[in-house]
Amino acid sequence: MFHQRQKGAYCRCHAINNLIGREIITLGEFDKYCDEYDKKNGFAPGSSKRGHLFYNYGGVDNIFGYILGKKGISVKMDHYDFYSHKKIKHQNNGTIGYIIYNRGHTYCIRIMNGERWIIDSMRGKPQKIGSMAVVEKKGTGVICVSRG
């Protein structure tokens, strides 16, 4: 199982690669795409590189959807509110996994062979989980990523 370990403050970059299961974006490309995204949306330079809480109008209109689109990977994204308790819906045949974020870190849960795995660049190895209850709590944002 692909597990990219943490380098610098690039957990969002690692979460994308871990979700897809291979390195689709380098740290340099991540910086470049963040700069493009900030310019496109009129944000202060560096906004998308620095914050774990990020611009998000739903769908794929966020830094994750932008980068995946630039890499030719078509996805749909369903967002679950960061500020309230939520129950996450899972699409049995289409869900690739989830981007999980809070004020200080971003990681993913990847679905492989019907099993859910936390793949966190700050941990030593992926961890199998039985339910999404570990992330269904206030203060945690969840983006469900499905095939587009």
| CATH code, domain carrying 22 | 3.90.70.40
Greatest mean pLDDT range, 22-26, 34-38, 46-50: 22-26
Q: Looking at the domain assignment, is residue 75 inside a domain?
A: yes
Domain containing 54: what range?
11-147
Q: DSSP letters of 97-133?
A: EEEEE-SS-EEEEEEETTEEEEE-TTSSS-EEES-GG
Q: Computed over its alpha carbons, how large is the radius of gyration of the chain?
A: 14
Statement: the pTM of the whole predicted model exceeds 0.85: yes
Calpha distance 27→70 (Å, rounded): 15
Per the structure, the count of domains in the chain is 1
Question: 3-state DSSP call for residue 14?
Answer: helix
Strand ranges (DSSP E) for 42-94?
Answer: 75-80
Does residue 109 lie within any of the structural domains?
Answer: yes
Q: Where is average pLDDT lowest: 12-26, 82-96, 128-142?
A: 82-96
